Each structure stands twice: as C-alpha cells, then as structure tokens.
Structure 1
Amino acid sequence: MHVARLALHDFRSYTELDLELSAGPVAFVGANGQGKTNLVEAVDYLARLDSHRVAADAPLVRAGAERAVVRAEVVREDRRALLEVEITPGRSNRARVNRGDLPRARDIVGILRTVIFSPEDLALVKGDPSDRRRFLDALLVMRLPRLAGVKADYDRVLKQRNALLKSGRNRQVDISTLDIWDDKLATLGAELLVHRLTLLDDLGPHLAQAYREVATLAAADRRDVTAVYRSATDGVTGTRDVAEIREALLRAVAERRRDELDRGISLVGPHRDEVVLAVGDLPAKGYASHGESWSLALALRLASFELLRSEDDDPVLILDDVFAELDAGRRDHLAALVGSAEQVLVTAAVAADVPAGLTGRRFRVADGTVHDE
C-alpha cells in the first residue's frame, strides 16, 4: 500500500497543494516551522481521523478558513482508491471514497493504514496510562476498522453514564435508568477489552524482536521487554471470552455503585485500565533510561508495523523527525530496519539527516511550498 498523490486545501499552512508521490522512501526536508510535518500529519489523519500532534480538529484548518480538505490517491496492489476527508470544526466531518459520500466519516478509517513514529511517542513510555490506551485503541482500529464504531459507542455511553452519576450525586435526577447504562457499558467494554487483550497477545513477540533490533540505536540495554495489560476489574485479564468479561464488569459496577455515585464518575471499565511496559524486571515508566525509553517507543511502532504487515499488506510507515538525534551509523541501522516497507515517508530538518539507505523521492519544503529535488 502506498499514497500516490496527496492534495490539501486549507490544511494547516497549505492553502492549496497537489503533490505526486511514489512507492519507496519519500523524504520531506525543510527547516522547522516550514510545513513538512503537516504533510505526513495529513496522510496519517486520512488513515485514522486523528492527529498525532493535537487532540482537536480546529488547529488542522488554516487560520481564516472555515474547513480543510485532505485528499489522497491510494494504491493497494493493482487497485486505486481516491480518499477524501472534509474537516469542519464544530461540525461532523465528511468522508468520501471515489467521490461517493460515506454514511459516516469514520467509515473511511482503515482503508489507508499508517504507522507513525515521532518524538511525541516518548509519551507512550513516560506519559499517562491514557497515552498507552490511545496507542492500543488506534492500533486496534487499524487492525479491525469496525472497532472504531465500538470505541465511539463506548465513549458515548461513558459520557452519558457519567452525566447521570453526577446528577444522581446531587439528587437532581432519578437514577433508576442507571442499570440500562451499566449493561451498555459492560457489553461494549467487554468487546473492547477482549480485543485489547488479544492484540497484546499478538503484538508481544513482534515487540520483543523489534526492541532487540533497535536498542543499539540509543545505546540501550538489550534486555527483554514486555507489555502487560493491567485492568482495575478483577477476573478480566485471565480470559479472552467476551461473556465472562461482561459479567466481571457488571459485578464490578455493582460493587462500586456507591463510590461512583459519591464521586459522580464511572470507576469501572476499560477507560480505567493500563498497559504496563517493562524493560527487564522493572517498569519502563520511572526506571527506563532515555535511550531505553526511546528504543521502546520506536519498538512499539515497528512492532505495530510488523503485526499489520503479517496480516495484510504493508501500511505506510511515517518517520517524523526521527533521525536528528542519531549519528550516521545508527541512522543507517534504522534505515535498514525499515527499508523494506512499500512506502516510507520521512521528515528531516536537513538533508544530511536522511540516511543513504532511504534514498528515493526527495522534496524541499520552505515557506509553505513543496518542490521536488
């Protein structure tokens, strides 16, 4: 899979852009603030309807514009598809495939698949549990696009249930309908949980191998790494049966009902869970060195790439400002690890940061313009 053409309208710093790309390595080179990361962000957004840089859509629309459009021609084997997303802050986004409207924007998720690594990914190791949950759920959706609907439905139920709990705490409403929301939360939560657990089962071997391969890039100790799911709900992690997990969630909800009403918030469910990353015998958060943290974050992304590749064709691999802190030898080593991908999109501040092993199409990005070198 690769992106053959990228077109932008009022996206970030670009008023209009129409760019022909190719399979293989593609590098965007330019000083900071010139718009190179905006290009790969647009590709990744088209795949996931989410940005690796910001939580809301408003910053994606050029200042002064009402909406932005991201359009790409995607090639998969011998088939081509034209994907398009119209981003309108404050309103529902619209998506099209081959110029035909989709019922929901999220139906476009997973047609183009991407794996992106950027400096912000250190949060996967050093950040809050929510960062690791987002990583897991984003990979789930790339693997099984229908789970975008499950996650959206769960988030909606959680929001409505929290509102009811908060009102019930203040005795403002009748909470007799809470049992209905309990059932919905347990049903959707069980489906989300079983897929998270299965994903970690399948990701584990790829993660261990990827870490062994990348640890030398940052002079990290090549000890074994693990990713273990830790749930706040008893009886969840030992099974992969949806019905058993649902019953465990319902029991936990009943046990915590008084606490939930006192605090006005849902205390049970996958939104409370954690993925514990460890290097050797110690948890990575708080104990891993900078080199180990960087290597583990990169290994999570490379493992994601290998898992998706093993089940289907190659996703587009994006390396956003990754090479700057590596010396020439380590750049070449990383290039060798990723060079077999069908398409690798690279951003770099200077041309010398792009390793020779990723030679291919190269674009110069300056003052919001993009030129083929």
Structure 2
Amino acid sequence: MIVEHLSLKDFRNYAEAELALGAGPNVLVGRNGQGKTNLAEAIAYLATLGSHRVSADAPLVREGQDAAFVRARLRHGVRTVTLELQINKQGANKARIGGTSVRPGELPRYAQVVLFAPEDLQIVRGNPSERRKFADQLLIQRTPRMAAVLSDYDRTLKQRTTLLKSARARGMKASALPTLDVWDDKLVALGSEIIDARVKMAEDLQAPLARAYEGVAGADHRPELSWTLSIHGADPEEGDDAEGEAEGPTAAQFRAALAQRRSAEFERGLSLVGPHRDDLLLRVRGLPVKGYASHGESWSMSLALRLAASDLLRRESQGGDPILILDDVFAELDADRRARLAGVVADYEQVVVTAAVAGDVPEPLRGSAIRIDHGRVLGPLVDDPPAETADATHPADRGGDDG
C-alpha cells in the first residue's frame, strides 16, 4: 500500500498543500516548525482517526477556519482508492470514499499506517492513557468496526459518570438511583468487547514484539506485554497494579467488579471499573519498563511496539504493507539504533521519513527528498542546508501546531 498523492486544505499550518509520493523511501526535509510533521499526521489520521500529538480535533484546523480537509489517493497493488476527510472544529467529522459519503470509521478499512515519532517514548514512560491510546489505535486498524465500539463506550462512560457526579452532589445512595443499572448494562456490553479485543491483541503482539525488540536492540531482553485489568481489582490509574483472581466470562467479571466498587463510585462520583482504567504492562528482563528500564531499553521497547504493530498488520492485510512513517525519529536515536531501525523497515512498500537534516537519515532510507518550508511543499531537494542552519532553529519543544 502506498500514498500516491496527498492534498490538504486548512490543515494545521497549511492553507493548501499538494504532495506527490512514490514507492520506497520518501524524505520530507525542513527545519523544525515548518510543517513536516503535519503532513505525516494527516496521513496517519486517515488510518487511526486520531492524532499522535493531540487528543482533540480542533488543533488540526487552521486558525480562523471551521474545518480542515484531507484527501489522499492510495494504491493497493493495481487498484487505487481516494479517501477524503472533513475535520470539523465543532461537530462530527465527514468522510468520503471514492466520492461516496461514508462514516469516518470506514476509512481505516482502506488505509493502514504505522507512525513512529519521538512521542512514542511516552507509550512506555507515560501514563496508562498513552498505552491505551496505542492499543486502541491498533485495534481500529485491525478491526475498523472497533472505532464505533470505542466511541459508544466513551459516550456511555460520560453519561454514567455524569449520573454518578450528580448523585454524589445530591447525597443520593445507590438504592435511590435505579437508572444506573441501565448504564451499567451498556458499559458492561461495550467494555467487555473492548477488554477481550485488547487481551487478544496483546497475545498476538507477543511474538512480533520479541522479534522486533531484538532487531532494534541487538539483544533479547525478554520483552513482554500483558493487560492489568480493573475488573480484576487493579486500578492502574491510581498506581495500584495488584490484581485478584477472577474466572468466568469477561462480562460476568465486569458486572461483579461494578457491584464491588459501587459504594466507592458513589463516594467519588467516578466510574472506577472498565477498560478506561486498565493499563498495558510492559516488561523487559522480567521487570516493568516504567521505572526500571534504561533510556536505551525504553527506546528499544517503544520502537519494538511500533514494529510489532506493523508486522502484525503486514501479516493480516490483503492490501499490502502498511505505510510506515518515521517522524523525526532518527535525531532521537544513537547511530546503532538508527541503522538497525532502517534495516528493519527498508523493505516496506512505502516509508515516509521526516528530518530536519537529510544527513540524519540512514542510507537505506535516503530516497527522493522534498523540501518543506513555512507550510509549503517546495519540491525536490537539491542540496541539504548546513547542519548548523537547521540546528539553530531546533526548538526544545517540538509539539507545536506547525511541527
């Protein structure tokens, strides 16, 4: 699978942009803050229905505009398909496939993208929400209908939590709020499906993760991943990873856990059980990565997770390899990991690399280079600027809207 052409209108810092890409490696070169990452973000959004930098859609829309537009022509072997997405600052987004209106949740059926970025370090070092986001975006790519399940769960969770907060403010007891049972039923039905899908995905990722970790680290540190579940008594959101023993169908365990935490939920006005409280536990050498792994081991794990995800999608897809995007990754890695990562991904159908300096990109990925400057795609790069020119404008915080 490759992106042949990308068109943007009012997306981030782009009033308009047209970007032609080819098979194999493609390098987008420009100083930080010019818009390289925004191009990568737009491609990835079509596959994951989310940004790797922000949790809301509003920042994706250019200042002063109400909506942003992303259009991409993808090629699957000899077939092509055009995906279009309207990202609204307020209200629901709209999508079209081949000119026909569809739900945005249909887009991941046609676009598979794995994006590597410096922010990936937060998957292993950050809060549980970072690991849930990684897992759920991969869930959507493997099974696009899970986008609707996750969205319905979020809406149900908000309604249920609002009810609990209202009951807490009014000093009500559980027996005086029978409508909560209705929301419990919805929460259990949707949440159980998410939990089961996440657990199955972790099992499927284990072997690819081990291969990928050794590929980028050059050593086998026994990487492992498993879910810590709130329906088993843990609460990773509050630093409690201790789980009790549980048997039986997930839905039955979920319902029993809700009954057990009912009083606490009323006291705090929060929904304390469900996939929104779970965490993906990552280990190397038998120890949790968070808190025990070295900086190098943390980077190896974050890279291995993305590589494992791309390997899984590659094996399951009938539409060819997923598109790989390496967004400013090489500037963060030592020479050994740069070379190892490049060697692992070089044979994918299409790799899109962003870099402040073209010389940072390892030889196997030095394909056609395109200059990006102030929200403009300027065309093929002839000569890379001196390193000091690019470095002089390298901000400490690269997470701005016009990255």
Determine the C-alpha separation between the residues in 2 that align with 1:283 and 1:329: 24
- Residue identity over aligned pairs, in percent, reads 51
Determine the C-alpha separation between the residues in 1 that align with 2:340 and 2:260: 52
Q: Deviations along 1:111-150, whole A, 9 cap, x unmatched?
A: 2011111000111110011111111111011000001111
After TM superposition, list the pairs within 5 Å mapping 1:256-335 onto structure 2. Answer: 256-312=261-317, 313-335=320-342
Determine the C-alpha separation between the residues in 2 that align with 1:161 and 1:107: 28
1:27–1:360 CA contact under 8 A, matched in 2 = yes
**1:215 alignment partner AA:** A
1:319–1:347 CA contact under 8 A, matched in 2 = yes
Q: Deviations along 1:252-301, whole A, 9 cap, x unmatched?
A: 11111111111111111111111111110211001111111011000000
* Stretches of structure 2 lacking an aligned partner (at least 5 in a row): 235-242, 382-403
Q: CA deviation at 1:314?
A: 1.0
**1:15 alignment partner AA:** A
What root-mean-square deviation, in Å, do the aligned CA atoms of Structure 1 and Structure 2 show? 2.1
SS at 1:233's partner residue?
A: helix
**1:17 alignment partner AA:** A
Q: CA deviation at 1:59?
A: 1.4
Determine the C-alpha separation between the residues in 2 that align with 1:93 and 1:281: 43
Which residue does the alignment assign to 2:124? 125
SS at 1:318's partner residue?
A: strand
Determine the C-alpha separation between the residues in 1 that align with 2:81 and 2:244: 42
Q: 1:338 to 1:203 in 2, by over 3 A?
A: same
Which residue does the alignment assign to 1:354? 361
Q: 1:178 to 1:330 in 2, by over 3 A?
A: closer
Which residue of 203, 206, 209 corresponds with 1:207? Answer: 209
Which residue does the alignment assign to 2:393? none
Output the TM-score relative to the length of structure 1.
0.94
Output the TM-score relative to the length of structure 2.
0.87
Which residue does the alignment assign to 1:13? 13
Q: CA deviation at 1:155?
A: 0.7
Which residue does the alignment assign to 2:44? 44
1:194–1:240 CA contact under 8 A, matched in 2 = no
Which residue does the alignment assign to 2:399? none
**2:17 alignment partner AA:** L
Which residue of 339, 343, 347 corresponds with 1:340? Answer: 347
Which residue does the alignment assign to 1:53? 53
Q: CA deviation at 1:327?
A: 4.8
1:48–1:110 CA contact under 8 A, matched in 2 = no
Which residue does the alignment assign to 1:363? 370
**1:44 alignment partner AA:** A
**2:80 alignment partner AA:** R
* Stretches of structure 1 lacking an aligned partner (at least 5 in a row): none
Matching of residue 372 in structure 1 with residue 388 in structure 2 = no
SS at 1:317's partner residue?
A: strand
**1:288 alignment partner AA:** A
Q: CA deviation at 1:172?
A: 7.5
SS at 1:188's partner residue?
A: helix
After TM superposition, list the pairs within 5 Å mapping 1:135-174 onto structure 2. Answer: 135-171=134-170
Determine the C-alpha separation between the residues in 2 that align with 1:272 and 1:330: 33
Q: CA deviation at 1:329?
A: 5.0
1:235–1:248 CA contact under 8 A, matched in 2 = no
